[in-house]
Amino acid sequence: MRSAPARPTRVQLLAAAGRTVPDLVAPGLRVLFCGINPGLYSGATGHHFARPGNRFWPALYRAGFSDRLLPAWEEHRLLERGYGITNLVARATATADTLTREELMAGRGRLERRARSSGAAWVAVLGVGAYRTAFGRPRAAVGRQAESLAGAGLWILPNPSGLNAHYQLPDLVREFAALHAAVHAGLAASHPPGRPRPAAVRVQSNR
């Protein structure tokens, strides 16, 4: 088990603006989780959803995606269960509000490439507002989407940031659990049970 990294100082957090966090990807993913972009805490530590108070890891555990509550620095354990993490936009910012529409729209292409190269069965975007902008779907709602992406089923999950007051942890767990049920029922849009998934190659992150 890896030891916890040192908590970044305020100076280190400010210096993390613009940094990137390597994608957590491997061939044949069940689900590729896609955040909006790294926060400064993630940029400083190099781990996804790393800021204390972010509900991603508790929601993941309580919904059944992991067998224990993983700390962000043990994110590599997700690959053992077929789950990966990427972001629509690579650069770290204090808040996602500072991202431009153009960056989010370009993020769709980036996400599509990651989904294709990993052979993901599902892509789950964590943030309905970011999804609406990136995909040009102003009325999209949380849950399964009618469209697919690079052969993967698309799902919107709420943003797990502690700043998202519209969803408390039980609400997040409910939405994560709905995706978990779909994944384990074999409901992926283009990979029904018994149909072989396309081969994928490991992608080296360029971030």
**For 73-111, how does the pLDDT look when each residue is reduced to its tens digit (9 = 90+)?**
999 999 999 999 999 999 999 999 999 999 999 999 999
What pLDDT band is residue 6 in, cutting at 50, 70 and 90?
confident
Q: What is the bridge-based pairing of β-strands 31-35 and 83-87?
A: parallel
**d(Cα 116, Cα 152) in Å, to the nearest integer?**
8
pLDDT tens by residue, 166-178: 999 999 999 999 9
Give all domains of the chain, ordered by start, each with its CATH number. Answer: 20-184 (3.40.470.10)
Please report the pLDDT score of residue 15 as a whole number: 97
Alpha-carbon torsion angle 87, 2, 31, 113, nearest 10: 40
Contact predicate 33/16, CB 8 Å = no
- Check pLDDT > 80 for residue 39: yes
Contact between 63 and 33 (Cβ < 8 Å): no
Gap between the Cα atoms of 74 and 58, Å rounded = 13
